[in-house]
Structure 1
Amino acid sequence: MQADAVTQAPVEAVFNPASPEYLADPFSQWRALSARGRLVWYEPWQAWIMTRMPDIMDCWRREYLSSDFYDWEFAPPRPPQDQWSNYERAMIGHSLLADHGHHRLVRRIVSPAFSRNVVDEIQRRIRPDVVQLIADLEGLDSFDYIERVANHIPFISISRMVGLPEKYWPDIKQVVLTFTESWNPTISDERREAARQDSNRAIEILQRVIAERRANPGEDDFLSELLKVEAENEAFSDWDIITLILALIGAGADTTLVAQQWTLYALLKHPEQIETALSSPEAFANAFSEIMRWSPTSKMGFARYAPQDMELLGQQLRKGQMVLLMPHLKDRDPDYYPEPERFDVQRTFDPDVLFGYGPRYCIGAAMAKRQLYLTMVELFKRFPDLRLDGEPEKDNSDHNAVVFKSLRVRTGKGA
């Protein structure tokens, strides 16, 4: 039966994230893609798509595919070391594109920098900015949440968390918008090179910040914690610090901006569950997994690359071919989640794979969830009668996520 289905139409006829039909109903396209098999060739992206969660978790756990962008068959040549810019020094051989052994080492030695006490301190540091941003909305009858809040919170909170002095904020904001593009294999060479240059400028700023902090220690922030780790571990260097901070400033801000929009939208669509979701940081952590399961945000997935010619899940892969891990395909699958259409902030997630699994689990997950929790608590504290001002229009222009063109809300507090 599956063979017959394959002959009916090419995969791109039933799965096209760039299409209006995907915006209207992505879930039927997810199901159609998953029905084609465990590993499906997708011509428009020149990539294999891994569709089943057990296979994805096994790939995350065993790390048999490469996460190094330069191992992609269409990547530019890996530059020789004597031609590296700051970007290559940070991205080759360090935390994001490291060999698996070094990546595991980095995770182990920096884990104290992501402890509960550190996360609590970060919340204390960013709370005044969040409170002020939301207080500035007082007296408005309605506003666009994306324009007035979501666009600002990720950069402000991550900069405070890292300990990036405000004098550097204007210069480093650009990398927040473009960092993930510097290693995105699906965009043009010109766009990727522009993002690479943005990253080089950001790295120069981070080098100055690190030097200043060494000369004047004492701040209680993430950078200070990483400098302590470096002092105690010979295998951990400035470049590991820079790469971790770039990941938080760039990739962290990018994903959090998407999460900000969908978190508020999902809660306002289910107001009876807001109190439960925001009852504690722990309750919100679980609620956020349900929010992102229920919200059709994802379009692509996590890129990996075949390190050699290999057989995988019954398919023959050529060295350098991209494999996209797409865990979101399970999110409305009744075989994976009971009553998948139902929104329940107390749903059980075992395991919870929203932020990955195994050695590649996102090390900044607790920080991301705490930032969102703080924002939602302050927003609903000031505007308990907040509601949607009409159904928002979705925006399909981003390569990897579905967002909203605007997210207008009414406060119930006329000017």
Structure 2
Amino acid sequence: MTTETTQSKTERSIEEVFNPASDAYCQNPMPQCRALAERGPMVFYPPWQAWVMTDIGDIMDCWRREYLSSDFYDWEFAPQKPNEDDWGNFEKALIGHSLVADHSHHRLIRKVVSPAFSRNVVDEIQRRIEPDIDKLLASLGEPASFDYIKQVAEHIPFITITRMIGIPEKYWDEIKPLIENFTETWNPTISEERREEVRQQCNHAIDLIKLVIAERRTSPEQDDFLSTMLELEAANPDFTEWDIITLILALIGAGADTTLMAQQWSVYALVKNPDQRDAALATPESFSNAFTEILRWSMNSKMGFARYAPEDMEVLGQQVTKGQLVLLMPHLDKMDPERFPNPEVLDVSRNFDPDILFGYGPRYCIGAAMAKRQLYLTITKLFERFPNLTLAEEPVRDNSNHNSICLKELRLQTNIG
């Protein structure tokens, strides 16, 4: 018997039992996630120079009390925060306003903008993007098979974000790089050269957003997110144009990369488990619950939610120094049979109480309902057009994304005729 097989998990280094960059994790994350969670509620992971918070109760408490910072510039390895006199568009949005605002301003912004995410507004957004979804699916024709990721999913984030916000089509080509790359600006794993490249893309795109806002002020009634924001600005003196810009960036950040992952894994799950399809897509409300189960079952997450220690402090019995990265990783227990009986089975009726897929407490994603609705619309339309979809082949998993396991392609058989 080899030394490797006789060593206990606790004797092996944390890098040996948990490595999201490994092929083993890509194929089946469950054993490694459970091994990491078993190390304790607060585990230091040297490859990321970060602490990992593993217990869902502790994570919810952290979200609720906000004792860790969400400001990227509080990270010990962040570039030097520029003086306010030197701020460009990117810094004004990322530092000065609601993406990383102080807690009181963040709560004010949430209160002010909550009407922009009401059920009526979500219904209107669905109406606006539905013709684009129909057009995209119609462009497929009647193929024997097609790659859902390349031919559908990769187009959805751009369509939904631009239509939802109300960005005129004449600006789409210029703003597309921002939508595709914005989330890289706070990715702790990229090079400084790449971060600066994306920062400059952001500066240009924010100029375009400011131009769109200026144009919209002359014709504000267009039933979209931007029109609603301008109404709120007029009624609330503490809500400024920069808050509007930052909320648009927040929608882009939350809706681009995340939407692409959600699209591919949702379609894969429902094609792989056709017995769950009708229940999942019965109503927008049933899909909301089904989506949480789909992402639990897919186990595609790798890193989690980034927070930073604002000072030297003790967190869950560990001494955390100022600036250290703390990753909240609620996905680690998604295959725990004590919490989720028969965890390997996709069950869209499974109960989640609370449902923390989009966060919890003051930082719960305010656009969650909107995100789930565009996903529900796209997938419903897909199965209406191709009701007999099956997998043409089992997709190959791709581990190149720093935050999620992807599928290299998702080739579907239409079985038409």
Q: Specify if TM > 0.5.
A: yes
Q: TM-score range by the shorter chain?
A: over 0.9
SS of residue paired to 2:319: strand
Could you tell me how far 1:7 is from its partner in structure 2?
A: 5.2
SS of residue paired to 1:374: helix
Could you tell me how far 1:248 is from its partner in structure 2?
A: 1.3
Match of 1:198 in 2: 201
Q: What's the TM-score once normalised by structure 2's chain length?
A: 0.97
User: CA RMSD for the aligned pairs?
Assistant: 1.1
Distance (Å, rounded) in 1 between the aligned partners of 2:251 and 2:62: 24
Structure 1 residues 343-352 or 130-139, which shifts more? 130-139
Aligned length: 411
SS of residue paired to 1:409: strand
Could you tell me how far 1:300 is from its partner in structure 2?
A: 0.2
| Residues 334/158 of structure 1: CA separation in 2 closer, same or farther (3 Å cut) | same
1:27 paired with 2:27, answer no
SS of residue paired to 1:97: coil
Could you tell me how far 1:250 is from its partner in structure 2?
A: 3.2
Distance (Å, rounded) in 2 between the aligned partners of 1:20 and 1:254: 22
1:2-401 aligned within 5 A: 8-401=11-404
Cα displacement string for residues 102-127 of structure 1 (whole angstroms, at most 9, x for unaligned residues): 11111111000000000000000000
Structure 2 residue runs of 5 or longer lacking an equivalent are: 1-6
Aligned-residue identity in percent = 65
Cα displacement string for residues 88-140 of structure 1 (whole angstroms, at most 9, x for unaligned residues): 01111311111111111111110000000000000000000001111122221
Distance (Å, rounded) in 2 between the aligned partners of 1:189 and 1:162: 30
Cα displacement string for residues 22-46 of structure 1 (whole angstroms, at most 9, x for unaligned residues): 1121100000000100000000000
Q: Is the 8 A contact 1:206 1:242 kept in 2?
A: yes
Q: Is the 8 A contact 1:50 1:56 kept in 2?
A: yes
Could you tell me how far 1:314 is from its partner in structure 2?
A: 0.8
Distance (Å, rounded) in 2 between the aligned partners of 1:203 and 1:308: 32
What amino acid does structure 2 have at the position aligned with 1:390? E
Could you tell me how far 1:336 is from its partner in structure 2?
A: 2.0
Distance (Å, rounded) in 1 between the aligned partners of 2:189 and 2:224: 35
Structure 1 residue runs of 5 or longer lacking an equivalent are: none
Could you tell me how far 1:217 is from its partner in structure 2?
A: 1.7
Distance (Å, rounded) in 2 between the aligned partners of 1:360 and 1:342: 30
Q: Is the 8 A contact 2:220 2:230 kept in 1?
A: no
Distance (Å, rounded) in 2 between the aligned partners of 1:156 and 1:409: 22
Could you tell me how far 1:160 is from its partner in structure 2?
A: 0.4
What amino acid does structure 2 have at the position aligned with 1:269? K
What amino acid does structure 1 have at the position aligned with 2:205? A
Cα displacement string for residues 44-88 of structure 1 (whole angstroms, at most 9, x for unaligned residues): 000000000000000000000000001011111110000000000
Q: Is the 8 A contact 2:10 2:39 kept in 1?
A: no
Q: Is the 8 A contact 1:155 1:249 kept in 2?
A: no
Could you tell me how far 1:335 is from its partner in structure 2?
A: 2.4
Q: Is the 8 A contact 1:141 1:410 kept in 2?
A: yes
What amino acid does structure 1 have at the position aligned with 2:115? P
Distance (Å, rounded) in 1 between the aligned partners of 2:33 and 2:205: 37
Q: Is the 8 A contact 1:143 1:410 kept in 2?
A: yes
SS of residue paired to 2:256: helix
What amino acid does structure 1 have at the position aligned with 2:252? I
Distance (Å, rounded) in 1 between the aligned partners of 2:306 and 2:200: 22
Distance (Å, rounded) in 2 between the aligned partners of 1:7 and 1:107: 43
Distance (Å, rounded) in 2 between the aligned partners of 1:284 and 1:146: 20
Structure 1 residues 183-192 or 274-283, which shifts more? 183-192
Could you tell me how far 1:266 is from its partner in structure 2?
A: 0.3
Q: Is the 8 A contact 1:47 1:324 kept in 2?
A: yes
What amino acid does structure 1 have at the position aligned with 2:176? K
Distance (Å, rounded) in 2 between the aligned partners of 1:161 and 1:127: 11
Q: Is the 8 A contact 1:93 1:99 kept in 2?
A: no
Structure 1 residues 400-409 or 92-101, which shifts more? 92-101
What amino acid does structure 2 have at the position aligned with 1:311? E
Distance (Å, rounded) in 2 between the aligned partners of 1:188 and 1:324: 20
Distance (Å, rounded) in 1 between the aligned partners of 2:160 and 2:346: 28
Q: Is the 8 A contact 1:182 1:195 kept in 2?
A: yes
Could you tell me how far 1:183 is from its partner in structure 2?
A: 1.5
Q: Is the 8 A contact 1:71 1:307 kept in 2?
A: yes
Q: Is the 8 A contact 1:176 1:251 kept in 2?
A: no
What amino acid does structure 2 have at the position aligned with 1:180? T
What amino acid does structure 2 have at the position aligned with 1:36? R
Distance (Å, rounded) in 2 between the aligned partners of 1:91 and 1:397: 26
